Structures are given as structure tokens and as C-alpha cells.
Amino acid sequence: MKAAVVFEKGQTPQYADFPEPEAIQENEVLVSVKAASIKNLDKARASGKHYSTENKVHQPTIVGSDGVGYLENGSKVYFFSKKGTFAEKAVADKKMMAPIPEELDFSIAAALPNAVMGSAMALKFKGGIQPGNTVLVNGATGTTGRIAVQIAKLYGAQKIIVTGRNENSLQALRELGADEVISLQLSDEAIKENIKKIHTETPIDIVLDYIWGHSVEIILSALKGDGTFSHKTRLITVGGMSGDTIQLSSQILRGTDIQISGSGLGSWTKEESALLFSEIIPEMFQAALEGKIKIDTETVDIKNIEAVWDAEIQTGKRLVVRI
């Protein structure tokens, strides 16, 4: 079969022949793949720099962690696989699949779940979002951030604050449900004062962070308590595009009712992961059908995988590979 294969660690995937997989275990099923999206996770794992692959001995590997396609009985499904998905055939775990509505385009179905994992799981299980909450999305101009704004709205957030560097993309988030916009191109003090003002007027319940680094340091300093009772805020990090480490003052933790956690592979319980496939992703597919969630995609043929792997994609769009 044809597939996108990384033959050496750090190498760009190549369109090549690869042995067809077999569903050997009782919990496995074979999927005829029709599309898969290129994500930062896929790139990091292909390079060997992601925490899930950095200590593994590299062998020729099909890239991709999820995809969409048909089961042998004709059912249209989204699936997750540890054995690669950018291929004509893939092996999926029966417990890590979700049905796709017949009317939903494969490109949307391929692009949406990863963004849902990076937002719904964090908001629902790490943030414990409730109707009426105030949510700050840090680094909201990317695909996952844009989805996070829409899901927060879907989950009943009363107020949504967004931050980012791209001014045009930031303003466009208002159309998706954002109420307050803060540019990260402002001075540190201006960003801090904006957040403090909002936090005083409508206390922030959840900070959903996609970039980490210095902007999180500013947010934490803005939320820092003064020794009196403070509002409980949960900060959940989902990505580290601006750096993997921060400086954290112990005074912030001692003087503020704040909980810091992360959401990603390895941080969810088995029960939460099961709900992702049985409830959350199907719910989001339906929301996409009803126009309540919008995601922009750009599609390419798998034959062109080498040329597009590191290509610059317009902000807010997800690149989907058709197979």
C-alpha cells in the first residue's frame, strides 16, 4: 500500500510503499483511510522530539495519530491509531473510534477531533467548566484556540477573553464568541493591567493556555492575590509554542487560589478518554453539522506529503491530507 513514511528520525515523510497492516488483536479493526490532518503533534512525534517518542529507537514509521475512513461494513468513522494513519489502510482500536455523520465532509471530520481534544478535554475535565464561567484563552488565534472559543461558548461560558499576536485573527475571534481581545504585542504592563481589570470585574474561572512561556508569566502576575481571599482560577496548559518553561513565584501559589495543570496525552484518565470517543467527539461532529462549530481546512493529496509537511499554512486553518 501507499503511505507517508519517516524512514529516519527527523526526516520529512516520504510517499512510499509500505506493508499493509493487519488487525491481529481482538480489539483491532482495519480502516480504509480517506483523510488525516497534519498536526503539531504529528510533526513532533515524527521528529522524535515529542515526549511520547523521544526515548524510542526509531524504525520506518507511518506518520499520523488519527484519521477518518470506512470500516469493512461501510461505516464512516473517526479513529485513533498508534501505528500511523497517513496510509491507504490503518489499524484502529475499537474503543478509540467515533461514528461520523454521513452528511459531514471527511475533511472537517479529520480536522476537528484534535482541536476538540486540545480544548474540550481541558475545559471539561481539567477546568470543570460550568455555565456562566469566565474563560481566558491564551494564544487563541491558531486552529485549536479558535475551536476552544467556540466550545467554551457551547459549554455555556458567559465571558470569553482571548489573547494573541495576530491582530486580524484576534478581531475575527469576536465573530466566534470572544468578548474581550488582548494583543500580546502590547507591553507586559499593559497586558497585565488589562487582565487585572477584567479579573476584578468578572473573575476569571479558567485560563486555557496554548503557548506557555512569558505570556503565562504575565497572566499569573495579573492574577496574583494580595493576601485576602481570592477567586479560584484553574490554569490548564495544552501547548508550549512560546517555550517549554516559565519562572513561577511561590508567592503566586501561596497568595492566590490557583490550580495549574496540563491537558494532553498521558494526562487523561481511561474514563475520560472513553468519553472523548463515545460522547465528546460525536457531540462536536453534530455541532459542526449544525454550524455551531466552524473549522477552516486546506486539503492536499498524500502524494504531495513531502512538499507540504513543513509548509506555512494560513493562521487558523488545518491542513488535511486526502488519501
Whether residues 247 and 134 fall in one domain: yes
Same domain, 137 and 249: yes
Which pLDDT band holds residue 309 (cuts at 50, 70, 90)? very high
Tell me which residue range forms the domain holding 161: 119-262
23 vs 313: which has the higher pLDDT? 23
Residues 9 and 107 in one domain: yes
* Cα–Cα distance list, 41 to 52, 73, 239 (Å): 10, 30, 10
- The answer as to whether 285 is a domain residue is no
Counting every residue written for the chain, the total comes to 323
Q: Specify if 282 maps to a domain.
A: no
Q: What is the pLDDT of residue 51?
A: 64
Residues 81 and 151 in one domain: no
Q: Judge if 123 and 248 occupy the same domain.
A: yes
Domains: count for the chain: 2
pLDDT at 200 over 80: yes
Whether 88 and 127 map to the same domain: the answer is: no
Domain boundary (220, 246, 262) is at 262
Is residue 290 domain-resident?
no
Mark whether 128 and 59 lie in a shared domain: no
89 and 198 within one domain: no
Residue 178 counted as domain residue: yes
- Digit-coded pLDDT (tens) for 113-158: 999 998 999 999 999 999 999 999 999 999 999 999 999 999 999 9
Q: Is the pLDDT of residue 314 over 90?
A: no
Q: Do 85 and 65 share a structural domain?
A: yes
Q: Is the pLDDT of residue 188 over 70?
A: yes
Q: Which of 53-62, 217-226, 287-296, 297-306 has the lowest mean pLDDT?
A: 53-62
- Domain of 89, CATH number, reads 3.90.180.10
